[in-house]
């Protein structure tokens, strides 16, 4: 079995330098690190996880709490890309991930916090979950480093999409295309929903547009059937909207189906716009107009901040990091 001592002999450096290089310490030059890592790889060196944990008091394992209400798991079009970016970021730093749950095979049912202790997680990422669940709050109140996505807790780092700015951009685009009767089917109550909804009302007011009560409806995120029913309600109005905004791209697909079943054309007869910017939206006909969130930046920032919190707890600034998105024009919003 290859040891650090073996690697140091080949590289002509001390064992301490090899250790620092393999652990990505800052007091070793990048050139030396790369050389030592390449030699270690060629020699088939594999660090002993248990020995490293004893030495560093870390397991290099991060828990991920991800459980959206639709139970879509890693098929969730937007968050799957966020988690992929997060995973790549922490793996580059030598960490692994384990999905956090309340049941471990061979062990009686346990709480999220008990699972964290059982696995010895160095930190936890929370995304797309019920942040008001008492067991989630229990983890938040523990001494385990936590970073959240799209939800803000006091004294914790949060990575959030610019939902206010995103809705502002999307609404301005629709307005610039000539639309004045704009409806909004928003998601169920959450901090994300509230931010987008408030931005919708505020910007409609700034643009001098009225918002009839019947133009604002609620539908669960990623629920195509519910979105289709809400779309039917809007189409049945005496004075229907010329453009409908949806809580997310997936829900928008349900609305588009309802519109097409009426024999109406998109965008010639009515326009629609989604939110998230999932890849499949660029491969349908017509291409979906949407607010494209930067999933890669969100995941990368979450990874960077969580590792910083784990490795440098005293100097890491507790902050809310806001990631901006951009309008993807597509072809589902027509010009009036």
Least reliable range by pLDDT among 11-25, 100-114, 308-322: 100-114
One domain, residues 32 and 117: no
Please identify which residue in the block is written with the tokens 């029913």.
229
Contact of 235 with 262, CB cutoff 8 Å: yes
What's the whole-number average pLDDT of the chain?
90
Q: pLDDT higher for 67 or 241?
A: 241
Tell me the CA end-to-end span of the chain in Å, nearest whole number: 72
Mean pLDDT of 10-14: 91
32 with 113, same domain?
A: no
Lowest mean pLDDT: which of 45-54, 112-121, 221-230? 45-54
Q: What is the mean pLDDT of residues 84-113?
A: 81
pLDDT at residue 102, as a whole number: 61
* Of 207 and 30, more confident: 207
What's the token pair of residue 299? 């995941």
Residues 147 and 204 in one domain: no
The tokens for 59 are: 């397991």
pLDDT of residue 332: 98
Within a domain: residue 56?
A: no
Task: Tell me 53's DSSP state.
Answer: H
Q: Same structural domain for residues 80 and 174?
A: no
Q: Are 294 and 323 in contact (CB under 8 A)?
A: yes
What are the distances in angstroms from CA 262 to CA 15, 140, 265, 297, 312? 73, 48, 9, 39, 58
Least confident of 72-76, 225-229, 326-330: 72-76
| 313 and 283 co-located in one domain | no
Same domain assignment for residues 250 and 308: no
* pLDDT category of residue 105 using cuts at 50, 70 and 90: low
Between 40 and 159, where is the model more confident? Answer: 159
Please state the domain count of the chain: 3
The pLDDT score that the predictor gives to residue 18 is 87
Quick one: 249 and 195 in the same domain?
A: yes
Q: Give the integer Cα–Cα distance in Å for 250 and 80.
A: 14
Do 19 and 4 touch, CB atoms closer than 8 A? yes
Residue 77 sits in the same domain as residue 185: no
271 and 247 assigned to the same domain: yes
Number of H helices, E strands in the chain: 12, 12
Task: Mean pLDDT check: name the lowest of 101-110, 158-167, 263-272.
Answer: 101-110
Answer whether residue 313 is part of any domain. yes
**Within a domain: 334:** no
Structure-block tokens of residue 11: 């590289």
Pairwise CA distance, residues 113 & 109, whole Å: 12
Q: For position 51, what pLDDT does the model report?
A: 58
Same domain as 214, residue 183: yes
Q: Which pLDDT score, from 0 to 100, does residue 260 have?
A: 96
Task: Write the pLDDT tens digit of every residue in 151-182.
Answer: 899 999 999 999 999 999 999 999 999 999 99
The answer to whether position 331 is within a domain reads no
How confident is the model over 53-96, as pLDDT tens digits? 555 677 899 999 987 555 555 667 788 899 999 999 999 888 99
Q: What token pair was written down for 329?
A: 């024009």
Range of the domain at 24: 4-47
Integer Cα distance of 265 and 71 in angstroms? 32
Is the pLDDT at 32 greater than 80? The verdict is: yes
Indicate the pTM of the whole model.
Answer: 0.79
At 114 the pLDDT is 92
User: Are 67 and 78 contained in the same domain?
Assistant: yes
């Amino acid at each position: 079995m290859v040891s650090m001592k073996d690697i140091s002999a080949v590289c002509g450096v001390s064992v301490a330098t090899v250790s620092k290089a393999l652990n990505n310490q800052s007091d070793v030059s990048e050139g030396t690190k790369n050389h030592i890592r390449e030699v270690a790889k060629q020699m088939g060196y594999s660090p002993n996880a248990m020995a490293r944990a004893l030495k560093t008091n870390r397991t290099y394992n991060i828990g991920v709490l991800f459980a959206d209400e639709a139970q879509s798991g890693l098929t969730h079009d937007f968050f799957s890309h966020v988690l992929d970016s997060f995973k790549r970021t922490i793996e580059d730093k030598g960490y692994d991930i384990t999905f956090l749950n309340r049941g471990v095979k061979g062990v009686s049912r346990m709480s999220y916090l008990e699972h964290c202790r059982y696995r010895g997680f160095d930190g936890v990422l929370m995304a797309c979950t019920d942040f008001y669940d008492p067991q989630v709050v229990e983890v938040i109140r523990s001494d385990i480093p936590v970073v959240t996505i799209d939800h803000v807790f006091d004294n914790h780092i949060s990575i959030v999409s610019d939902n206010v700015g995103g809705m502002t951009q999307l609404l301005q685009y629709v307005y610039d295309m000539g639309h004045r009767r704009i409806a909004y089917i928003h998601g169920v109550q959450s901090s994300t929903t509230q931010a987008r909804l408030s931005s919708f009302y505020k910007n409609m007011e700034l643009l001098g547009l009225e918002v009839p009560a019947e133009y604002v409806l609620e539908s669960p995120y990623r629920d195509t059937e519910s979105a289709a029913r809400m779309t039917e309600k809007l189409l049945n109005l005496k004075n229907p909207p010329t453009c409908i905004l949806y809580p997310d791209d997936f829900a928008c697909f349900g609305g588009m189906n309802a519109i097409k079943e009426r024999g109406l054309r998109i965008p010639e007869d009515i326009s629609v716009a989604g939110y998230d910017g999932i890849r499949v939206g660029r491969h349908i006909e017509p291409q979906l107009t949407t607010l494209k969130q930067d999933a890669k930046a969100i995941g990368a920032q979450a990874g960077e901040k969580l590792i910083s919190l784990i490795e440098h707890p005293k100097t890491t600034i507790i902050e809310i990091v806001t990631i901006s998105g951009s309008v993807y024009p597509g072809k589902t919003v027509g010009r009036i």
